[in-house]
Amino acid sequence: MKKNKFLLIGDKFPKMKVQTTHGQVSLPGDYKGKWLVLFSHPADFTPVCTTEFIAFAKRKDQFEAINTELLGLSIDQVFSHIKWDEWIEEKMNVEIPFPIIADADGAVAGRLGMIHPGKGSQTVRAVFLIDPKGFTRLILYYPQEIGRNMDEIIRCVKALQISDEKGVATPANWPNNEILGDRLIVPPAKTRQDAKARLKDKTIECYDWWFCHKENEENKEKKEKK
């Protein structure tokens, strides 16, 4: 098993072939053109992980609507994943629609820095958000004791997508910020000339030249249609 080596935000996701419950997958190539949420769980047949898989499965349509695929991983053999899938469907009446990497020897988890210190071969609850070009855009790590919030992961994908498309940033708790609501933050000016011009720009609003924001046009169009 390889030692932990943390992947960093902005890194190209390493090329690798993995065995999953849906067959062999090439990363990140098989997901080219799509966003990918790669997430690890400590082990099959564990309570918190079961609730997480059900939560991901129930949001399948929401992820698909934002061009995003899901891919699980744990240091278990593929037959364990398959049996756990069957158990969830039989006992919880929820079908797991996404593949799960069978990282039985821990090679993938070790390569990506997913191994939980002091917990043997179990992984942390890691989340890697990979963009359509194969770059790592967001990384989340949770301890084994805390289940993840899937709605936050969806929010992160949407925020990165609008940031890429519009060249903006999103405020805290977007799209429900306490001050700006769903408005978007305009990157600060980089020259004195731009700073002065920023305050005269009628398409944006500013508290000061370094703190400007504008309307989310996508939501504006939706409101107008209503």
Q: Give me the catalytic one of 49, 156, 206, 212.
A: 49
Closest-CA residue to 92 (of 147, 58, 54, 48): 54
Closest-CA residue to 99 (of 79, 81, 123): 81
Residue ranges of E strands in 58-106? 68-74, 100-102
Closest-CA residue to 77 (of 100, 96, 97): 100
49 noted as active-site residue: yes
Cα–Cα distance measured from residue 114 to residue 98, given in angstroms and rounded to the nearest whole number = 20
The b-or-e profile of 107-146 (16+ CB within 10 A means b, else e) is ebbbbbbbbbeeeebbbbbbbbbbbbebebbbbbebebee
The residues that are catalytic are 49
